[in-house]
Structure 1
Amino acid sequence: MTSHLANLSAASQTLQGDRIAWIRLSAIHLPLKTPISDAKVLTGRQKPLTEVACLFAEMETVDGHSGIGFSYSKRAGGPGQFEHAKEIAPVLLGEDPNDISRLWTKLAWAGASVGRSGLAVQAIAAFDIALWDMKAKRAGLPLSKLLGAHRESVQCYNTSGGFLSSPLEEVLDNVERSIEQGIGGIKIKVGQPNMAEDLRRVAAVNDRIGGRASLMVDANQQWDRPAAMRACRQLEAFNLVWIEEPLDAYDSEGHAALAAALDTPIATGEMLASVAEHIDLIQKNAVDFIQPDAPRVGGITQFLRICALAEQKKLKLAPHFAMEIHLHLAAAYELEPWVEHFDWLDPLFNERLENRDGRMIVPNRPGLGFTLSDQALAWKRADAEFGKRP
């Protein structure tokens, strides 16, 4: 009888499979070298950006598999993400890490009283991304290959050198540096109170590029509908790849009117914080380039839901920020996408991404392919552990 019970127990453990045994959360605040301003600062809606607050989730299983993911916040929300993540983390202990979609739902219900968008899902994102990283590592594949890659590299454009806080000469210097680094596109900020100054900067950058790279602009939601229509019509002369966030992020009807009236594609979506909000954009034909941000919408599980809907509409994809994550997701999108090159997060990781001939190369390292640097750990402000490390 004892032997029979032992055999049943062993069989039960086999059927259960691997289980999440340990989780560590880290609040890491990355300081920026200089304060950054876009149109939201010039219009008085936000203060200059001085740091990026990152929430990292690391986890290990009974069988020794590991994963790492992160979310982030700018200007506000970082401590809130960390605290919410601490509240819901314990529900993952003892769970099968392969059941990612089910675990996303479980985490969402664990924090259901604060909703399914914004800070609530941004805290979930760190866990979700870590689970996808783990699944790809377990398979011995880069995440892009696990998802089913369409390409080995993705068109990339630089944003971090085109902020309104940078004098024009500095922006022009960044154009040269970006092209020399193998980056294929340049995006600069617009949306100043003086439209003539916006046009002057765009014209100067366009002249400096001289056909060697593509050009995009980003107004960061600072125009109303009449101003946006006037500005966008003047910007059409520059043959831009897209005009980004000309209106408030939630004005899907206004974006739809612009998309219908202009030859230049409209891009938006980065500030939306749920799948439902992206569905509204897609259903109203309000966007040509959709720009979801995996950490902002709840992680890779939710990002893939948006991509499935966007592919049905034949929309182009240009994910926002976090190239370490979005490079893999863009590589698995059917239509040729763009990925945003931001070097801000470089100090957090031991690895670097490679650009060549205007494209970012998908690394062949398993999973997302990054590990935390010693510098990242030095910037840690708080951490919390759950379970027991195997």
Structure 2
Amino acid sequence: MTANAIDGFRITRFAFARDRVIGDSQVRSDATHVAAIELVDGSGRSGLGFCQTLFTPMPDQDEVTRIFASEAWPALEGREPAALALRVNRVRGGNVRRMSLPFEEALQHATWDLFAQQMDLPLWKMLGAERPEVGVYASGLDYHLSDHDFAELFGRAAERGFRGFKIKVGHPDIGRDLHRLNLLRQVTGGARPVMIDSNEAWSAQETIDALKLFKREGHSIYWMEDPIPREDFDGLRMIRQLGLTRVNAGEYLDLTGKRRLLEARACDMLNVHGQVSDVMRAGWLANEANVEVTLGNSFLEIGLNMAAALPGVRWLEYSFQNFDHLVEQPFKIDNGLIRAHDMPGHGLKLSQAARQHHARPSLETGIAAAPASVSVA
């Protein structure tokens, strides 16, 4: 086995209360359940990724480790990170399935992190980026917030210089959506772009009616995100052709679905998220179609590395989720720009304080690991 081959892993499970209820027109969440996955090579370098269950508690640490060892580890042990990162699988039959826990994105992050460390390059540079910074917009995940909390969140975002603001819409009472837009204008000054996201709450006609109402009331919407069900390409294309706003879509589609969306000419912007290999491939497809790419939420903004590398990407989503204490150095945001680290890899390292000092899970006491990190070598 070579010094670059993966020969061990560590898993640390965390559970902690969110600092606010997050959600949209379809879902809500007030707790975080996370496992940090570290892949270790023969030289002792470790690549980091995070696995998160959004709406249900994660099993205890022993069970998370058992599932990982059974379902993920056999395809990793003894492999070179470069080979895992760059491979193209032939997906057929029984190998087209999800794992029992959502390890997929964590494995891409950890694998690419380790690959870039072995190349002694920051991930964004290894992916071809020439710039370390990307514009960032404030995304509230605010559907369930009171007006007071909504105003405080976006007021602080405006003071910090975020370059745009995205709010959740899709309420059964369209008047409530209009009220939130009015409130957003009051607390931010109305000079920066405003995006809206209904998370597929509407039909195509309801989307058109809502956009016309917002326009009559003086609101210029920079983009409308995922207004209707993800595979209604005809409806998305109809909305787009009316030119009321930009259509930003693709969040819920896999790579094949994103290709079909682009082929249907049904979006002005393609929304991608965290999986490094898939994001770069989707970016290539979007570039071929001359469609702008936007980077949605990725855990602790790891997607910054891909956003910096893809041509023409202007936006990274930032949602004020209380995850920063999990890592030693979160990415810094200043004057509406988020800046990548210069260290080899994606730039995030698991906090030793988080790993060592929170041995029992508790949603009342903040961050906690359960019961302790498990290492396999």
Tell me the TM-score range normalised by the shorter chain.
Answer: 0.7 to 0.9
Q: 2:150 aligns with which of 151, 164, 171?
A: 171
Quick one: which amino acid aligns to residue 209 of structure 1? Answer: T
> In 1, distance between residues paired with 2:53 and 2:337?
27
- 1:135/1:190 Cα in 2 relative to 1: closer, same or farther (>3 Å)? same
Q: Residues 133-144 of structure 1: matches in 2 within 5 Å?
A: 133-144=113-124
Are 2:289 and 1:289 aligned? no
> In 2, distance between residues paired with 1:202 and 1:50?
24
Partner of 2:227 in structure 1? 246
Partner of 1:359 in structure 2? 337
Quick one: which amino acid aligns to residue 100 of structure 1? Answer: L
Q: Is the 8 A contact 1:28 1:382 kept in 2?
A: no
Q: 2:81 aligns with which of 92, 97, 102?
A: 97
Partner of 1:312 in structure 2? 288
Please report the TM-score for the alignment, with normalisation by the length of structure 1: 0.82
Secondary structure of the residue aligned to 1:158 is strand
Partner of 1:58 in structure 2? 38
Cα deviation, residue 360, structure 1? 1.2
Cα deviation, residue 309, structure 1? 0.4
- Compare CA radii of gyration and give the structure with the larger one: 1
Secondary structure of the residue aligned to 2:240 is helix
Mean Cα deviation higher: 205-214 or 320-329 = 205-214
Mean Cα deviation higher: 140-149 or 246-255 = 246-255
Q: Residues 298-377 of structure 1: matches in 2 within 5 Å?
A: 299-322=275-298, 323-344=300-321, 345-373=323-351, 374-375=353-354
Q: Is the 8 A contact 1:220 1:245 kept in 2?
A: yes
Q: Is the 8 A contact 1:81 1:123 kept in 2?
A: no
Partner of 2:163 in structure 1? 184
Cα deviation, residue 209, structure 1? 2.3
Q: Is the 8 A contact 1:81 1:122 kept in 2?
A: no
RMSD: 2.8
Q: Is the 8 A contact 2:3 2:42 kept in 1?
A: no
- 1:293/1:77 Cα in 2 relative to 1: closer, same or farther (>3 Å)? farther
> In 2, distance between residues paired with 1:215 and 1:119?
37
Quick one: which amino acid aligns to residue 282 of structure 1? Answer: L
Q: Is the 8 A contact 1:291 1:317 kept in 2?
A: yes
Secondary structure of the residue aligned to 1:380 is coil
- 1:135/1:385 Cα in 2 relative to 1: closer, same or farther (>3 Å)? same
> In 1, distance between residues paired with 2:312 and 2:48?
28
Quick one: which amino acid aligns to residue 276 of structure 2? Answer: I
Q: Is the 8 A contact 2:85 2:112 kept in 1?
A: no
Partner of 2:240 in structure 1? 259
Name the % identity: 23
Q: 1:38 aligns with which of 19, 24, 28?
A: 24
> In 1, distance between residues paired with 2:4 and 2:337?
38
Q: Is the 8 A contact 2:211 2:244 kept in 1?
A: no
Partner of 2:369 in structure 1? 380
Q: Is the 8 A contact 1:269 1:290 kept in 2?
A: yes
> In 2, distance between residues paired with 1:140 and 1:180?
37
Cα deviation, residue 244, structure 1? 1.2
Secondary structure of the residue aligned to 1:234 is helix
> In 2, distance between residues paired with 1:190 and 1:227?
12
Partner of 1:132 in structure 2? 112
Q: Is the 8 A contact 1:278 1:306 kept in 2?
A: yes
* Deviation readout 1:323-379 (Å, 9 max, x if unpaired): 521111101110132111123122322212222222212222321111222336632
- 1:207/1:313 Cα in 2 relative to 1: closer, same or farther (>3 Å)? farther
Structure with the higher helix share, 1 or 2: 1
Are 2:3 and 1:22 aligned? no
**Unpaired stretches in structure 1, ≥5 consecutive residues:** 1-12, 41-45
Are 2:197 and 1:218 aligned? yes
